[in-house]
Chains A and B, each alone.
Chain A
Amino acid sequence: MAPNSIHWFRKGLRLHDNPSLREAVRGAGTVRCVYFLDPWFAGSSNLGVNRWRFLLQCLEDLDANLRKLNSRLFVIRGQPANVFPRLFKEWKISRLTFEYDSEPFGKERDAAIKKLAMEAGVEVIVKISHTLYDLDKIIELNGGQPPLTYKRFQTLISRLDPPELPVETLSDALMGRCVTPISEDHGDKYGVPSLEELGFDTEGLPSAVWPGGETEALTRIERHLERKAWVANFERPRMNANSLLASPTGLSPYLRFGCLSCRLFYFKLTDLYRKVKKNSSPPLSLYGQLLWREFFYTAATTNPRFDKMEGNPICVRIPWDKNPEALAKWAEAKTGFPWIDAIMTQLRQEGWIHHLARHAVACFLTRGDLWISWEEGMKVFEELLLDADWSVNAGSWMWLSCSSFFQQFFHCYCPVGFGRRTDPNGDFIRRYLPVLRGFPAKFIYDPWNAPESVQAAAKCIIGVHYPKPMVHHAEASRLNIERMKQIYQQLSRYRGLGESRTQRTCDATHLLLQDNLLCSTHKHTLTLHTECLSNISPLCYKRSVVKSTLLLCGEVLKMIERVLKKS
């Protein structure tokens, strides 16, 4: 008898290049595509309305595309672990397929479901298609540890075979004799819910700037490539005022939800490059956007505490300030810095901001000005940012707050100057902060410096209609650069290990002035490049001090252990 399959959609919300879906229909008698939604979870989760809307649109689109194949999407209300056993029985299922999820919690969830399925005698087929590569292979190639610098990651990638080609889009031909049994009341039981049904108030909700779904994604990728072909320039586009706005060629949310296959994108880029550049082989930088994503997925896949500072072996412990009021001002676009507030407004309204804008607000919240933990910023992005994926979101925040990955921290984005250089006229600010519309370009980035007459003419008095700046940026960045140096210098003390070092910390020159402005992180990076030590976080130095101590007095410690055991 031909097997009855369930394909379980989580990410990978698409019919093109979906290898596990392809397996679901292969030789099967029936196939049912399910998506689990917990209506109770929806209301209480910390995902914002834009993210929910995007998801629901993806599901609508998926359902519409499945209808064309005489199938439907089954949106199941409930938790997979609770519902699957019933479905297996009710639908006489013998095969379950889903896309591989590399994130630690996803892996845990999937392992539990696999166990359930095995107990029910259901065959489970899992395929990798959310990332370009098998991340475990990258880790294996790196000696069992995820690479901690992007350079190292690139080196490893260049030693791997190119990603596998996309598989064929699900079609009538591929469906073959496989059918989807659909009941009369399918819509009531399994239909895609509306935002209202999930408990969101949609009154006055502006239409989506980023419409969700595979169909939209495929239109966008064509436009994206057309534009690239037209400029015939594959280098990173220089930043300008226009790049700050949502673009109809933007792809990141579609990659996040898997409406667009990263492999499809990869190979389309390759083809186009070869066509335009007359068959020269494309450089790694062509795939920058895809590889960064891959880098963070790799770094996170074996680290369940990747989104935390405490207990996260790759994250430097920085004495961040707890300050809920300041955090709220940042999240609600009330910092008094128009550049920051405009970006945060765009994020809340539209669900997407340019990556340099992300750098600007992340730097402002953490090491640049407010000295607030990156974890707090990450949570706000998780709520608001359409393309925020657990790994990529946490990884980028650690990166931008200089908590990991050995990057430089001498440079903080200025909340006034950075925007001004990008968009001298301030159109971006006027668009998202209409209250400042009347200010001339000269003062739009620092309206608190405008004379009273200018504020009056702009019909916006700073401190009344728009907040005063919440920090003195020059002073804050001076303080914070010092803080960062302190932390990294302390870490670097552990680098030398050896006796003399340890004792030197007890010397009278304990508070020696350091004259190295570029700081010690850079030295870590160099060590990494030259020695190819792939996974020594600054924190590990501390640990390796303990370790070397253990070696040094290993005998003694064994003794302690023995005594302790006896007692």
Chain B
Amino acid sequence: ALLAHIPGKAIWIPDHTHTHRASRESLKMEPLADVAMLPGEERVIDKDIIYICPFNAAVKGKVFITNYRLYFKNTDSTPVTLDVPLGVISRIEKMGGASSRGENSYGLEITCKDMRNLRFALKQEGHSRRDIFEILFKYAFPLSHGMQLFAFLSQEKYEENGWNVYEAMEEYRRQGLPSSEWRVTFINKNYELCDTYPTILVVPYKATEEDLRRVATFRSRCRIPVLSWFHKENHAVIMRCSQPLVGMSGKRNKDDERYLDLIREANGTTKLTIYDARPNVNAVANKATGGGYEGDDAYQNAELVFLDIHNIHVMRESLKKLKDIVYPNVEESHWLSSLESTHWLEHIKLVLSGAIQVADKVSSGSSVVVHCSDGWDRTAQLTSLAMLMLDSFYRTLRGFQVLLEKEWISFGHKFASRIGHGDKNHADQDRSPIFLQFIDCILQNNVRVKTASLWSFVNSDTSLYINPFYTSESSRVLYPVASMRHLELWVTYYIRWNPRIQHQQQSPVEQRYKELLALRDQYLKKLEELQLSDSTHLTNSSTPNAATPNQHITHLQTPF
């Protein structure tokens, strides 16, 4: 269930009016009683197996594999089930051989991208493992086997075409663009300027198409600085791009320098701030491979700030360490120091504080340029987080989807390879789960994104992300506090597989809120009825003390 790396619009799979045809194969198999299969999902194999549960003992049961999921159900009394979409599998290994000694030593180990490992044991006789291994391998990594992803096979029908959520022009219009300083260009209509950029770009009004082409030669992968967000009041902007191709010799490019100056001039910023997401040393080191950063002498009206965010490799290792301390068992006595040693939260803090700096600069009226090396990992993190802080629209469910579409998909975040075939596990905490969530959205299209749980991580500003508590104060800038004191592990994501940790289906706060809302509506209804019967009885004598609170409250009613 992955999105191919196609910038801009990806392919929308049209629905066929379709009745689910069960294959001959699946007719022979036991019905998957308690699982509703997705349209287009087909059973492939089922097998008796032992699931070696890390929390209990080994569980005997049956595994069912379809072209979409792995489903395990035990045959003993207490129900243990597993329902794993194949897309979540990053690695499948055989463990033990046919001659291995010991109980349950012959089987499979499956590494998942969702922080768990699953171990299965099979009967040692008769190569019982071979077929299931091969099938699983084939269906879990369909692209490696010349097959299509389930997303393309799915025959699910949706009321709304999810690809229409984001309409670039509409989004720019919402921001108040184009304006006298900023214009929309179609230079990349056929991905000619830059194959990882969207077709519609916003650039300084004074920059000609020729300018853009020349700037593109000086930016890594032709990712020129383009507008990402526009501040309606002070006209400051967030621009995003890739690193300049300075190289060892310290090349300069007059067009690039002039272009950045045009950005600065657009709203009269005295000094354009360039945020380089990388640590200083990394930026320097990049010169060796032809990259680099904007030097002081070349860009006199700009100041360069390094945000010290590490690259995807560091992030991946950090996440790996985190997995080690949370799965299968949570480290108890040295929990805090082991958490610290993963540096995971520290990386989060750096990303957050970088985004705060960007947001702060912009809201104080200065335009900024954000880049890292290629401008599709850390840059996307920073710009989208800053935009979440600055623009309340992005904090709505729909707005959030637009943000993801815009900052991540249209600007070419390499979803396919970052999540891809088990080799790269992408960057930041805030981000990587978003991909998981978003893939879910591609699959189910307009399923509700659980904004609340997604953001419960950044607990500093929970309130505005939890759906029922959302307040629409449009002009409000929201700053989280990027201190370790406030950062905590997103337990419901990272430790969700551990049965001992609290798993509340719904936070008590939310639950209580909903209860109260229901109660209020009930009372309101009752009051209305009473008033109705009142007015029929005596039309003239009103009951002011009862009517006032009613009006007051209906006014306050939040759409729900």
**A and B are partners in one complex rather than unrelated chains:** no
